[in-house]
Structure 1
């Protein structure tokens, strides 16, 4: 194996300053801009991509934000507003690197957080993980696969008070159409099953042929799931209607806004929609937008069930002109209010996905407010900035306010998080964007996730509690390193590890309390071992960079996992909780009582381990990420 020489940068003060600069910008105008992650993206049809949850007892008050990066890592950040702590979690490594695959969240009745994700319409299943502890996604249980008969994408889960013992899941499934099913609550092994459905909700067609509707969902939290959807993808049809219906979960009837029954979901008889004058005449209240454009939708709101709102973009025949509209039901009609010209497609690749607007989001507390991404001339040229539009009850625009200024990169696909009527928590993508999937043709979506939410950061002192430092490399298995330290019931071990790709397994660290290594097999997963007990990670130690060498598309392939040349390993223990980190992301969580450390042996595998640091305290995730590794 070629030895990889990696050096540890120890000028932590300079690094800390650089880190703070990178994560927080406060403009003289507009809103505060903070960076949640430098690598993350999402589509806008799988929701909620972010949620805020606060319980009545006051023990949980957190925001959860999910995303996927170009290496196929599905990740999430939890901002705990009670402890003033931020945690970034690796939900799943080595996934299809496609921004349609962002995770979605639901808080279960026992207050544990359930996370759904799936591939982009090329695999008949969902995946999910559930937190072990209420409100804490840093404690995720193992990944579970939920089989379906048809390929899936865009999971949107709901729990309704009229049926609190079930989860309702909506997605694009059967025949590429809106699909719904009812799931049982997780059992003792966290398994769920379908006990009603899956069922196709409706049938969209054009000229007698089936097409591909795009749907957004929202519930009233009680007995209805509302959905707005298109006839098809706007790329494929120059006149694309937008429809608005709801499903009554007590009767399973699909109805229009006035309550007229359109069909019974699961009966085998589907309601057929079509972008025609005949359909419009037969079901006038089911059609929310029938203007002669390539219409697309971004979000819906039923905060006011009597007057729901849809964020709509009208796209011209040649796809070069996009315009944002606030569409609201007045009680008698769907009223359209023009908000702004939105440019054309926002991304850097010409002649690809030209219906991709910068994006819109509805204020969850006040649906008269829309946030939009629009091109603005600034000191860096024409860049997409965020603006706030306020619509009056009469349907006019009362105020327009720019929120971000002079951004070096585009601000796109905003989302507003529900947070009980407080100041809006906003999240959005920022950066370059070339395609929704990584391929040999384009690098995908190398964007960051920004927010106006304050991101807590504790004191960073990477020398505090340092018991041992050994920057030189240890070549194993021949050069074992035994490290004796004062016995401690709190500790952190950090090291840079390079495992031989031809022998990608073995025991990396062994202590007098536990061992850490990689399982032998086709998909090497990290493990923690204590005596005869073994905890295996849900994540393989690899990424999806092989997609960079493949043709663009969703063909259902799982390309070979790419093993990293090296990775940063961190293991912490405090208050009965052992955590492992891979390149700064939380991977494993184990509750182990009365663990103490006095000896560490490194080098029980074929490879190199270096930059070993051992502390008598549990370092924060920020501190772990500040131990910067530079590869020459």
Structure 2
């Protein structure tokens, strides 16, 4: 690792510990307080010592039941591996469903439980014309029962004529019970834009294909980034940006949701129906308008609880200064309440000596507890190492309690994730990547760690 290390001050740390204080680097939220307790190291376990994931193919982990989660990742050799974890017994099962597909962490699978109880996983190569891949179990949550991979191209002649760029990346599958348990999947496909396809037969065929967001005139090099969330009932929530923060000086954050054949703003105003797609980037609800002073943005997570959407995103006033933000929609004032959680440091890729960092906006990242958006799990730089912390609020983000989950780590801990479809009575599992090496999304040596909260 060539990251420059800062000098440590053990004497000062001892004094602070004796005074009952805890040392926390660059926390910009004046209303945050760090708890002296932290998660014991013996409660942190390794799910795999060879796995990586991006944060734009989700849900990358799901609860199948109260005591079982299913997840997946990309191995160092490019294999796509799925896994299950029994929360109560610790039993782990693994299945390599696509050996040596491609060394690229963008290819991690997303998961959904179909109406028949089986699991479908969907994923894609990174920016190729090869297509999207699906694979379905034949025996519920048994990862050993994943069937053959099915490669398909979610494209029509009309779409390609109107949006002439074909390149497939990411897949985000969701099932909506309110719509006959139809399967919806989002990805960056035709036009280099967020796309949506819909299946009425559990992914065997796809009879509807759409480009969701695209500016006019069409720009084949512009690529809005999107994150999605659904509890599986009637809505799919979506946050998105103008494009990549490396390319868009004023990369901002927008929100909308899909329900009943249409897309809607946060206040319930209809944007358009499926037949009227795509809509313009600025047609969604503006969450954050980027500026030269406050910086361009990127997105981390979105969930919804009791009708209220919650959003996590980052601002980058400087490439070495990533700021984490928490926002929720206040239906009374019809405004987004937005607070800065903390300064998170810089990018986590290990820039090689003499090289310019290729991904300066790769933040440590954040995730919600989907059952309780008052709990946020984030990765930020502490003493030159990225650590996982839990931020909790009881007053809608005005004040925060902080509990360290990792501390004094040897390796960076990044991209935390709480599996979706968390049952109310289940224990909360928090997963994240531990980076022995992460130089680039095609050059990594990473593990998947986890802890279980009672």
Q: TM-score, normalised by structure 1?
A: 0.59
Query: What's 1:426 paired with?
Result: 430
Query: What's 2:111 paired with?
Result: 105
Query: What's 1:294 paired with?
Result: 296
- Tell me how far 1:172 sits from its aligned partner: 1.1
- Mapped partners of 2:87, 2:390: distance in 1: 26
Larger Rg: 1
Q: Which of the pair has the greater relative contact order for Cα pairs under 8 Å at 6+ separation? A: 2
1:545-600 CA distances to partner (integer Å, 9 max, x unpaired)?
xxxxxxxxxxxxxxxxxxxxxxxxxxxxxxxxxxxxxxxxxxxxxxxxxxxxxxxx
| Higher mean C-alpha displacement, 75-84 vs 384-393 | 75-84
1:589-631 CA distances to partner (integer Å, 9 max, x unpaired)?
xxxxxxxxxxxxxxxxxxxxxxxxxxxxxxxxxxxxxxxxxxx
Q: CA-atom RMSD, angstroms? A: 2.2
Secondary structure of the equivalent of 1:238?
coil
Secondary structure of the equivalent of 1:162?
helix
Query: What's 2:320 paired with?
Result: 320
Secondary structure of the equivalent of 2:278?
coil
- Tell me how far 1:394 sits from its aligned partner: 4.4
- Mapped partners of 2:365, 2:88: distance in 1: 32
Secondary structure of the equivalent of 1:396?
coil
1:275-297 CA distances to partner (integer Å, 9 max, x unpaired)?
xxxxxxxx6x7101114221011
Query: What's 1:96 paired with?
Result: 102
- Tell me how far 1:210 sits from its aligned partner: 6.1
- Mapped partners of 2:403, 2:439: distance in 1: 28
- Mapped partners of 1:86, 1:394: distance in 2: 37
- Return closer, same or farther for 1:53/1:220 CA change in 2, 3 Å cut-off: closer
1:66-113 CA distances to partner (integer Å, 9 max, x unpaired)?
100121111122113577531111111121111000011111122111
- Mapped partners of 1:208, 1:352: distance in 2: 23
- Return closer, same or farther for 1:201/1:253 CA change in 2, 3 Å cut-off: same
Does residue 195 (structure 1) correspond to residue 207 (structure 2)? The answer is yes
Secondary structure of the equivalent of 1:138?
helix
- Tell me how far 1:238 sits from its aligned partner: 2.1
- Tell me how far 1:403 sits from its aligned partner: 1.3
- Mapped partners of 1:423, 1:222: distance in 2: 22
- Mapped partners of 2:72, 2:146: distance in 1: 14
Query: What's 2:3 paired with?
Result: none
- Mapped partners of 1:367, 1:205: distance in 2: 35
Secondary structure of the equivalent of 2:347?
coil
Query: What's 2:48 paired with?
Result: 37
Does residue 234 (structure 1) correspond to residue 242 (structure 2)? The answer is no
Query: What's 2:275 paired with?
Result: 266
- Tell me how far 1:303 sits from its aligned partner: 2.4
Does residue 174 (structure 1) correspond to residue 190 (structure 2)? The answer is yes
1:118-146 CA distances to partner (integer Å, 9 max, x unpaired)?
11121242112211212211122122222
1:518-540 CA distances to partner (integer Å, 9 max, x unpaired)?
xxxxxxxxxxxxxxxxxxxxxxx
Given that 1:389 and 1:401 are in contact with CA atoms closer than 8 Å, whether structure 2 keeps it comes out as yes
- Tell me how far 1:417 sits from its aligned partner: 1.6
- Mapped partners of 1:288, 1:102: distance in 2: 28
- Mapped partners of 2:139, 2:97: distance in 1: 15
Secondary structure of the equivalent of 1:176?
coil
Gaps of 5+ in 1: 1-27, 56-60, 275-282, 438-443, 455-632
Does residue 53 (structure 1) correspond to residue 64 (structure 2)? The answer is yes
Secondary structure of the equivalent of 1:100?
helix
1:356-413 CA distances to partner (integer Å, 9 max, x unpaired)?
0011111111112211101112xxxx21101111234343123122111111100000
- Mapped partners of 1:354, 1:220: distance in 2: 33
1:298-309 to 2 correspondences below 5 Å: 298-305=300-307, 307-309=308-310
1:480-495 to 2 correspondences below 5 Å: none
2:139 alignment partner, one of 123, 127, 133:
133
